[in-house]
Amino acid sequence: MFMKNFLTPLILLVLLASEKAYAQKIKAPSNSGQKIDSIQIDFSKLKDGSWKNALPDTLAYGGKYIIKIDNINRHLFKVDGTVGQKDFNVDLPSIFGTIKLPGFMTFELPSISPASHFSTIRGTEKMASDSVVIKFAEIKSPLSIIEENYLYLQKVARLSNTIKALQMDCGHGYAAIERMLRDSTNKALSLKDGTSRSEQIEVLGNNSLARIEKARKAGQMLEGLQEELLMKIQAKIDTNDKIIQRWVLSPLKPQSNNFKNESEKYIQAQLDKKEGERRIADVNSTIQRALKMVEELEKIEADNKIQLLVDSYKRINPSNFTYVSDPIKISKDETELKFVFKADTLLTCNYPNKLTMQEDIPTVGGWKVDFSTGVFFSGGLGGKGFFGQEVYYLASSDDSTKTIIREKDAGGRLLMSLGALAHIYKRSINNTKLVISPGVSTTTAFDSFMFHLGLSAIFGRKDRFVITLGTTLKESTILDKRYEVDTPYSTKELPKEVPTIKVFPRGGWFLSLTYNLSSLKKNS
């Protein structure tokens, strides 16, 4: 009765081992309210391998983690990251299956060449010093406005090239790149040191558009003044032309009283006419150059290049220099990190175009069930009950009609079998563990099963050897209880074969040597 009660929990343990082993292959449901821990890695340390110093030695079973990689320029590097998990030695040995038990955008701003699009207003400096052109004060103000705002947008264009260069920077971390961005923007926009990025964005966008609008209005003013100015100059030319024509038609003789005055007027009229014609050409050329510049500024606005530049500026932000993995809940023996970083363009710094970050981190905590297989040696605890009885017929020497049932003397022996154990324990990084292990084995003839429960010493983690000592239960064959050994029976009344029965359970002890070797699995 005691043995039957002992068998029930043993079978339940074996079933539990099987069920848990497969249950561990199912991902546990996520808990959205659970704290998520961050594993932070500096991308700049991948080259020399020192990034591994940032990894924890272990991960906690049931914990949630994300992998956060800082200082990675995602304008340059694409990230292919996987965070996987694996269990060791949880494949259910086939021997358990034979037991019949109850079932249960990277954006790029178009290039703006200062040499071709943002040349200074040739002639403006001349106009500021030339006594002839400067007289026309009406056009000096709008020309200065156009020049001032054109030169401002030229600095903005150069800033756009700086921003593109920073987006392609692979030799600095984010903090240094952002510092260079802020310094360059302050310089280009004539802002004070310490100006916030939000203020820089405001000035870069709104102020640039406002300056284009100022230049446009100045251009409209120039167009309105151009005809009036030309008419004034032409009127002076016409006046001088009359003086010239009068002299040509009625020239005075040198001895005439007015010769000197009239001849001087004639000569001056010729000079003034040529100067007027030069002025017309100069005014037309200067205004056309100014209006061309306004046209270029209006095209920048029409092509939305200011907003594109602002967007490019905004893309230099912590998120675009940081990679964050999806959260993972730890539910298995080991977490596998593998991240491949690849640049699709040639880099401007001495850095590999492809980098790989790979590491395995063990899990601690959480109960698990795994398995090992090997050889078992079993023996009885005393008496003959464990091995059963080997009986045979022997003719009686006293009476030829009688037959005696005899029992072979088994002597001292061990029963060898092949089987598997399920090990139940909490995860740890220790290479040596003491665990509870239920299991099952079968004789080398595969004619019967034995059930085991013992204490195991496990040596190793992935590849390991296990020594286990414990209790064995088995089925044994004994003489039918209607008969007795060494008792004569009528030969005619005995069955052809010695009458035996099978009884279960019979208790004993066992010692097993089991193992898990990955090299054997690869070859199998």
The full DSSP string for 435-502 is EEEEEEEEETTS--EEEEEEEEEEEESSSEEEEEEEEEEEEEEEE-TTS-TT-EEEGGGS-SSPPEEE
| Per-residue pLDDT reduced to its tens digit, 458-476 | 999 889 999 999 999 988 8
The helix/strand/coil state of 229 is helix
Q: Which of 132-141, 199-208, 496-505 tops mean pLDDT? A: 199-208
The helix/strand/coil state of 35 is coil
The arithmetic mean of pLDDT across residues 419-436, rounded, is: 94
Tell me the C-alpha distance between 517 and 465, whole Å.
8
Helix (H) or strand (E) holding 358: strand 354-364
- What is the structure's pLDDT at 126? 36
Tell me the C-alpha distance between 113 and 157, whole Å.
8
The arithmetic mean of pLDDT across residues 27-35, rounded, is: 53
Instruction: List the one residue out of 70, 90, 19, 93 whose CA is nearest residue 334.
Output: 90
Q: And the tokens for 247?
A: 């002299």
| Per-residue pLDDT reduced to its tens digit, 263-286 | 888 889 889 889 888 888 888 888
| Per-residue pLDDT reduced to its tens digit, 357-401 | 999 999 999 999 999 999 999 988 766 678 777 888 888 888 888
Tell me the C-alpha distance between 68 and 323, whole Å.
6
Q: Is the pLDDT of residue 520 over 80?
A: no
The arithmetic mean of pLDDT across residues 446-463, rounded, is: 90
In DSSP terms, 39 is beta-bridged to 67
Tell me the C-alpha distance between 187 and 47, whole Å.
34
HSE of 174 in the Cβ direction (CA atoms, 13 Å)?
18
Instruction: List the one residue out of 349, 353, 357, 355 whose CA is nearest residue 172.
Output: 349
- Mean pLDDT score across all residues of the chain: 83
